[in-house]
Each structure stands twice: as structure tokens, then as C-alpha cells.
Amino acid sequence: MTRTVTPMKQTASMYRLTALNPLLRRRQWSWRTVAFIAIAIVATLLVAMLNPRQVLAYDVAIQPASPQQGDTVSIFVTANAGATQVPTVTVNGEIYPTFAIGGDRYRTFVPSSPLHNPGRYVIQVTGAEPPRNPAFWLDRRSFQVQRITLSASAAGIEGTDHEFDRVQAFKDTLSPTKYWTGPFQRPSQGRVSSEYGVRRYYNGVFADDYYHRGIDYAAATGSPVVAPAAGRVTLVGRVANGFELHGNTIGIDHGQGVGSIFIHLNSIAVNEGDMVQAGQTIGTIGSTGASTGPHLHWGVYVNGVAVDPGPWRNGGME
């Protein structure tokens, strides 16, 4: 005798899963499996509501959008879950200093130069929120080539360990306070005689791995030199104290890894430790050290790399 088994009627009142009935008919899943899936979904939603950091990742903005060699790349990180921990920002495996700039926002400066290879640079932001891994593309930039003829006496100047150590210490300065506000000022009213990034031949020999690490302003000896932005004087070097190559030198720390250096000066009007304001006279133009004539060399360093001062003057850096 054939036995007929009548299947149990499935109703919404049994499991309160009316919306899943069509899925069951298509997939032929057991109700036990469906119940497990439903519980998992509810649990996931509860975890997301109770722990928003598990689903909210940092917002990352990059400026400029299309950087080129010599630019200072600003990386802005916004925390979405109210985290107070400063995130760690890594670019192509190198960690860069990050500072809070108000609210839940943080900023990292990534310097570039003519010696940085064009291409893709991967950012990794890690901290209290899930990591983000955006990237930017560094474009190639064309730099001028300049031929410099030095006198025998100037060409023979190699510099001293003392001045190199002092200048390196200036470049490595990393203070937490941001002293500058808005765009940098022009430090001299002289004409621009050499742009940033110029590659050079000295007495007919190409200088490998060299680029002009600033902007030169030609003017008469004794012309004023002013601070382009507020900061603390952290370096004063004189020819009499061993600054044979740089000549009379001033270094200003603008804070958070940003600094300005002024070399070949005739006179110096500040002392180490002084606080200066934008537009304040700090010295005068000269031709000390390895120099071909009266001019000011102004360099801007960001996290130890000489970047193009132009964007700092023209657009301002937050």
C-alpha cells in the first residue's frame, strides 16, 4: 500500500518570516538554516548599531588633486567615530608626522622633490577606525638646466662638518606647534634669478642627484630680507663660525616639520630662540659662502625635504 505524506503547511505565524517564503521555495532551504541566517543578520545589525567604529572608516582627502614633483602633498584625515587617537599615515611604507587641526580632522604633509620618482604613491591610514588605503599619482615636472661658473676660490669651498651638522639638525626639527598662518610672504623684493628645482652644471660638470633647493632673489648687498611667515629662529650660522659653504645663514622653524632657510646673507638681525613674525626684517642680502654675486637663497623644507616654495606663497598651506 502506498503511503502518502502530506507536507506541513508553512505559515508566517509559525516563524514570522513571511518575506523569506519565496526564497525558501526557490532554494529549498530548511527552516533551521533560514532561522540561523536571520539570527546572524540581526546580530550583525546590533553590533553595527552598538559599535559604529566597526563600520565607519576614516575619510581621506588629498591636495593638490594632481601633484607634481616638488609639491607638498597635504593629506587630510577625518575621523567619523569621534576617535581622539591621532591616526598613523604611511606613504609607500614611510611614516609621516600627523597633527590635529581641529575637530576630528588631522593633517599630514608629504614632501616631494625632483628626485622623487613619478608614479603611484599608496597611502595607508591606520588607527582607531578601520584602515583606508587611497593613493595619489605624482606627475613628472620639467625643470630648467643652468650652467654656473665658479671662481677657483669659490669652487674650492667644500664646507665644514660643523655647518653640515647644524643645517641637518635644522632640517630635522619637528615641533608640535603650528606658527604660520595663511600664505607665505616673499622674503625679498629682488628679481628671481634662479627657480626651484633647476639642475646644474658647475664649471661644465653636471651635478648628479642635485637640484636647486629653493629660490634665488638677486638684489643689492644690504637689501632687506624678511621672514615669510611666523616662527622660531633655530639656526644662526656665520662664516666666522665655520659656515664656509652656506655663508651667513638663518633657519626659521615654522612648526610641524616646516622650516625656511636663508643663506649667503650679508648681515643677521636675529638670534637663535627669537620668535619672528611674517614680514619682520631678519637680515640683509649678501654674497657670503659659495656665491657668484649678491643674492638671497630661500629654501623651504618639509619633513627634511626641500620642496617648491611657490605653492606655500601662492595658495597657502593649512
Tens digit of each residue's pLDDT (9 = 90 or more) over 79-96: 886 777 899 999 999 999
Using the structure block, give the residue that is written with the C-alpha cell 633657519.
251
Angle (nearest 5°) at CA 289 between 149 and 221? 90
Half-sphere exposure (Cβ direction) of 262: Cα atoms closer than 13 Å? 32
Mean pLDDT along residues 244-271: 97
C-alpha–C-alpha distance, residues 306 and 309, integer Å: 9
Joined grid coordinates for residue 173: 626639527
Which residue type, as a one-letter code, is found at position 258? V
How many angstroms separate the Cα of 100 from the Cα of each of 108, 133, 151? 9, 20, 49
pLDDT at 149: 83
Mean pLDDT along residues 151-168: 86
Nearest to 123 by CA among 95, 99, 100: 95
pLDDT at 24: 40
pLDDT at 25: 46
Confidence at 187, pLDDT banded by 50, 70, 90: very high
C-alpha–C-alpha distance, residues 145 and 142, integer Å: 10
Tally of CB atoms within 10 A around 159: 15
Coarse DSSP helix, strand, coil percentages of the chain, rounded to the nearest 5 percent: 20, 35, 45
- 257 versus 53: the higher-pLDDT residue is 257
Mean pLDDT along residues 262-276: 98
Mean pLDDT along residues 305-309: 98
Is pLDDT at 56 greater than 90 in this prediction? no
Share of the chain above pLDDT 90, in %: 66
C-alpha–C-alpha distance, residues 96 and 62, integer Å: 14
Antiparallel, parallel or unpaired: β 205-206 and 215-218: unpaired
Angle (nearest 5°) at CA 19 between 16 and 23? 120
- Those residues with Cβ within 8 angstroms of residue 311's Cβ, 6 or more apart along the chain or in another chain: 64, 71, 72, 317
pLDDT at 207: 85
3-state secondary structure 258-286: EEEEEEEEEEECCCCCCEECCCCEEEEEE
